[in-house]
């Protein structure tokens, strides 16, 4: 079944915007088989039903409808030769292209087809006249179009008393007042309202022309009581009158201000003439000449050059005291400073690039290899449009510094734009030059500051942008990050195309969950996972300690560090995937040493774990560790967080009751569903596990995931939840040396998960000896750090049977 609508895509160019009242003689009367207000309902009619989308046709109005779809065209071809009457009914969901009887509203309009005109080869325009309200009753045909029995519903006429007359007069007066306040309303519309004396006709006419929501129009169509329709329309009129009065006041204020502006402009011209006679206007001419010279040197494109000449002429005749003078001057200076033709010479030396990356970053071999490949392509095809790289990873893993290293290896200038907290689209696209203080967007400002058209620009914290009534910055970035579109990027302030295709954009984010899908599609995501403790130790020894010692004015021999001291800081004073907090804590220890040296208490301090504790105090974090003993119902799970991997101790207990089930530990909806699925799986395998089914009815289960104050969620806890419950009911403890991750199905299959590297690092850090992972994650094992693969035994599993076989302690 097809849907017809008067949407902009389907309506003919000549179609009126709103319905008109049919007051043109005999044709406006009721058609055969229809009823008038107050008449008893006639016997049901059988008519073809034409569904409408977001369109209501009221009785007494004439409306053009565009018919383009094959089913609707067939409806007209087969129905119109037999009669001109159709049932017009709006569908409930406008997105449904093939609505059935259940997808349509019950109430609609009986309409007569006045004329039909072919619009295109596959479409026609019909002009229909609304006759009466109807109710669709019994469908008698559904294919190729809907035909049904319809019942004509007469309106309930109001009583002819003073209250009815007052309500009619009030409605008409409000409608006329609203029309007079609208600048686009014609005198014919006012005369039409004054010329309607029938209450039902007046309400239908106003309902069609007040611009109401289609839902409210449908409600008015379904309302048979005329007095109730009058009351509802009166409420809408009051609201629109209030808005129209405010708009009228604003128009008057603007006209008054415009007249005042003309007066001020005339007086400024007088002042300018006086200044010219006194010889005091030479400053503006000097500015204009200087700007003209700078604009000629900037090498503007033809379109920009024409705009600059126009603005220069405007600046010449604008008084220096005028606000427009400063606005025009700032705009021309921006055009003159932009690097329209300036490009830094690029030197792609892959050996040097590798040296810079190795110098600035420890590890990250896979990331470095990808960057070298990226630079190799740039060397072979400098004019090519490579992908936009997006570094994804936890805080402190070196995403921003990688961008600086890329710029250094290419010999390009580098700029960083922090997008965190940006909610205004104008931060990207710029502000329009409609007020004093407007300025270009952040991109144009950075290019103006750098003075080159091919820098490396890092869009930092891409995932922390917001959106509000001022626009969506993420949508504005779609054009910026598309190499096929950004060669003609138009900043609203500059209002001229500027070529961004030579800019190398690099984005960073901590998570992709808050990055819109179209924006993710513009970028190639390069993941930077967290560091292992061994990697952090090497970074601290080779980079962080040396840098902090130099920044605090000490010599390396005055503050040597032992590896044990660095490990103490890593294990007891930091809990992160990166090394940012590690460097902060190292700086605190170095300050402690610097204070002793400055006081001349000593000239050298070797930093040992004891010195670390003296400087930083008691340990801030307890080391994650495996369970001290094996117990039924207690399982070690693995989780992925924004700061790396963590281990979770899942606890389950049971006690006498009536089969209740309790979940605590601030579990999210996904984890709650995992627990319920795991319990159902355990109950379904009770016989296989040797569990008495009566135990499920005679005991209650409590599942808790410490710590209770930390929210937890994610689709990877199913295996651990099942193992905890199976262990609890069978009484067999889970090995304290085993941790596991993976989701579970009701058939007992292990589903793949993400973040395996971070989770395995957390297991290594906690002293776990064996990890159970889904078989489908076996392909990720080669990507794990060598330290993990050498120390931890990783066992892929297919089903929960494999999990229990590896995890439960043998009896």
Tell me the catalytic residues.
Answer: 716, 759
Please state the φ and ψ torsions of residue 4, each to the nearest 5 degrees: -110, 145
Q: With CA atoms as reference, report the closest residue to 665 among 690, 680, 648.
A: 648
Two structure tokens written together for 529? 């996972």
The answer to whether the beta carbons of residues 17 and 55 sit under 8 Å apart is no
> Crossing angle, helix 609-616 and helix 563-572, to 10 degrees?
40
Please give the Cα distance from 179 to 39 (Å, whole number): 33
The answer to whether the beta carbons of residues 716 and 744 sit under 8 Å apart is no
Please state the φ and ψ torsions of residue 748, each to the nearest 5 degrees: 85, 15
If you compute the radius of gyration of the chain from its CA atoms, what whole number of angstroms results?
Answer: 38
Give, for 664, the enclosing helix (H) or strand (E). strand 661-664
The residue to which tokens 């019942």 are assigned = 151
Burial grade of 448 (CB within 10 A; 0-12, 13-18, 19 or more) = middle
Cα 228 to Cα 200, 205, 232, 431, 692, distances in angstroms = 11, 15, 6, 49, 66
The answer to whether the beta carbons of residues 124 and 89 sit under 8 Å apart is no
Please give the Cα distance from 743 to 596 (Å, whole number): 54
DSSP reduced 3-state for 51? strand
DSSP 777: G
Sheet holding 770-774, edge to edge: 661-664, 699-704, 644-656, 634-641, 738-740, 770-774, 793-797
Which residues face 139 on adjacent strands?
148
Q: Which residues contact 459 (CB under 8 A, 6 or more apart)?
A: 417, 419, 477, 505, 506, 507, 508
DSSP reduced 3-state for 108? strand
DSSP reduced 3-state for 15? coil
The answer to whether the beta carbons of residues 656 and 702 sit under 8 Å apart is no
Which residues face 663 on adjacent strands?
703
Centre a 10 Å sphere on the Cβ of residue 263 and count the other Cβ atoms it contains. 10
CA dihedral 75, 80, 86, 91 (to 10 degrees): 20
The answer to whether the beta carbons of residues 384 and 378 sit under 8 Å apart is yes
Please give the Cα distance from 461 to 564 (Å, whole number): 34
Burial grade of 81 (CB within 10 A; 0-12, 13-18, 19 or more) = exposed
Please state the φ and ψ torsions of residue 239, each to the nearest 5 degrees: -65, -45
Please give the Cα distance from 414 to 446 (Å, whole number): 10
Q: ∠ CA(114), CA(117), CA(118), 5° rounding?
A: 150
Alpha-helical segments (H) within 451-562: 473-480, 517-521, 533-539, 545-551
The answer to whether the beta carbons of residues 530 and 784 sit under 8 Å apart is no
Please state the φ and ψ torsions of residue 193, each to the nearest 5 degrees: -65, -45
Two structure tokens written together for 783? 């990507």
Half-sphere exposure of 353 (CA within 13 A, CB side): 25
C-alpha 446 chain-centroid distance: 25
The answer to whether the beta carbons of residues 395 and 580 sit under 8 Å apart is yes
Q: With CA atoms as reference, report the closest residue to 635 among 787, 781, 742.
A: 742
């Amino acid at each position: 079944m097809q849907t017809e609508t008067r949407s902009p895509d389907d309506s003919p160019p000549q179609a009126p915007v709103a319905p008109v009242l049919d007051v043109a003689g005999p044709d406006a009367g009721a058609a055969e088989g229809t009823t008038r207000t107050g008449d008893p309902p006639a016997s049901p009619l059988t008519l073809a039903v034409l569904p409408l989308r977001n369109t209501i046709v009221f009785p007494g109005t004439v409306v053009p409808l565009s018919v383009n779809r094959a089913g609707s065209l067939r409806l007209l071809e087969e129905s119109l030769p037999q009669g001109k009457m159709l049932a017009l009914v709006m569908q409930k969901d406008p997105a449904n292209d093939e609505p059935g009887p259940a997808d349509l509203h019950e109430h609609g309009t009986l309409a007569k087809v006045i004329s039909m005109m072919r619009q295109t080869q596959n479409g026609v325009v019909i002009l229909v006249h609304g006759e009466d309200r109807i109710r669709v009753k019994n469908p008698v045909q559904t294919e190729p179009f809907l035909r049904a029995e319809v019942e004509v519903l007469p309106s309930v006429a109001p009583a002819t008393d003073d209250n009815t007359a007052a309500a009619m007069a009030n409605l008409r007066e409000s409608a006329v007042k609203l029309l007079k306040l609208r600048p686009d309303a014609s005198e014919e519309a006012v005369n039409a309202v004054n010329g309607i004396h029938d209450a039902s006709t007046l309400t239908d006419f106003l309902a069609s022309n007040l611009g109401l929501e289609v839902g409210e129009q449908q409600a008015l169509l379904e309302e048979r009581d005329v007095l109730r329709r009058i009351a509802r329309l009166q409420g809408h009129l009051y609201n629109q009158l209030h808005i129209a009065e405010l708009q009228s006041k604003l128009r008057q204020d603007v006209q008054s201000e415009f007249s005042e502006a003309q007066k001020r402009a005339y007086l400024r011209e007088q002042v300018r003439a006086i200044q010219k006679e006194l010889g005091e206007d030479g400053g503006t001419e000097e500015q204009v000449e200087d700007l003209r010279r700078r604009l000629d040197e900037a090498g503007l494109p033809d379109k920009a050059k024409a705009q600059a000449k126009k603005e220069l002429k405007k600046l010449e005749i604008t008084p220096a005291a005028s606000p427009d003078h400063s606005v025009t001057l700032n705009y021309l200076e921006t055009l003159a400073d932009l690097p329209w033709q300036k490009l830094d010479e690029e030197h792609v030396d892959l050996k040097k690039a590798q040296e810079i990356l190795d110098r600035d970053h420890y590890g990250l071999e896979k990331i470095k290899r990808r960057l070298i490949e990226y630079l190799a392509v740039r060397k072979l095809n400098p004019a090519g449009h490579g992908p936009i790289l997006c570094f994804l990873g936890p805080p402190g893993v070196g995403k921003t510094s990688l961008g600086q290293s890329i710029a250094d290896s290419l010999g390009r200038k580098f700029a960083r734009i922090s997008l965190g907290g940006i909610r205004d689209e104008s931060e990207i696209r710029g502000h329009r030059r409609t007020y004093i203080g407007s300025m270009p967007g952040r991109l144009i400002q950075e290019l103006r500051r750098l003075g080159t058209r091919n820098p490396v620009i890092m869009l930092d914290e891409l995932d922390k942008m917001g959106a509000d009534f001022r626009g969506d910055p993420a949508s504005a970035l779609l054009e910026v990050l598309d190499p096929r579109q950004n060669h003609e990027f138009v900043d609203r302030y500059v209002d001229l195309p500027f070529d961004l295709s030579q800019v190398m954009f690099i984005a960073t984010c901590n998570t992709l969950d808050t990055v819109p899908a179209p924006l993710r599609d513009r970028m190639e995501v390069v993941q930077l996972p967290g560091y292992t403790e061994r990697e952090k130790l090497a970074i601290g020894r080779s980079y962080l300690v040396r840098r902090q010692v130099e920044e605090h004015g000490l010599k390396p021999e005055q503050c040597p560090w032992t590896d044990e001291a660095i490990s103490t800081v890593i294990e007891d004073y930091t809990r992160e995937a990166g090394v940012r907090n590690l460097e902060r804590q190292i700086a605190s220890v170095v300050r402690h040493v610097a204070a002793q040296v400055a006081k001349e208490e000593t000239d050298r301090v070797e930093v040992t774990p004891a010195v670390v504790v003296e400087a930083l105090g008691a340990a801030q974090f307890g080391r994650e560790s495996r369970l001290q003993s094996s117990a039924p119902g207690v399982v070690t799970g693995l989780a992925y967080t924004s700061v790396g991997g963590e281990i979770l101790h899942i606890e389950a207990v049971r006690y006498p009751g009536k089969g209740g089930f309790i979940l605590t530990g601030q579990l999210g909806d996904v984890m709650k569903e995992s627990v319920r699925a795991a319990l159902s799986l355990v109950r379904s395998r009770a016989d296989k596990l040797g569990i008495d089914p009566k135990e499920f009815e005679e005991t209650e289960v409590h599942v808790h995931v410490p710590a209770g104050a930390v929210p937890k969620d994610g689709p990877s806890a199913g295996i651990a939840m099942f193992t905890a419950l199976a262990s609890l009911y069978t009484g067999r403890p889970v090995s304290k040396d085993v941790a596991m991750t993976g989701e579970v199905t009701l058939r007992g299959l292990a589903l793949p998960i993400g973040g395996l590297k971070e989770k395995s690092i957390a297991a290594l850090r906690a002293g776990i000896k064996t990890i159970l992972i889904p078989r489908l994650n076996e392909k990720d094992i080669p990507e794990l750090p060598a330290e993990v693969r050498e120390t931890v035994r990783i066992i892929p599993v297919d089903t929960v049977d494999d999990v229990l076989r590896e995890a439960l302690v043998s009896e």
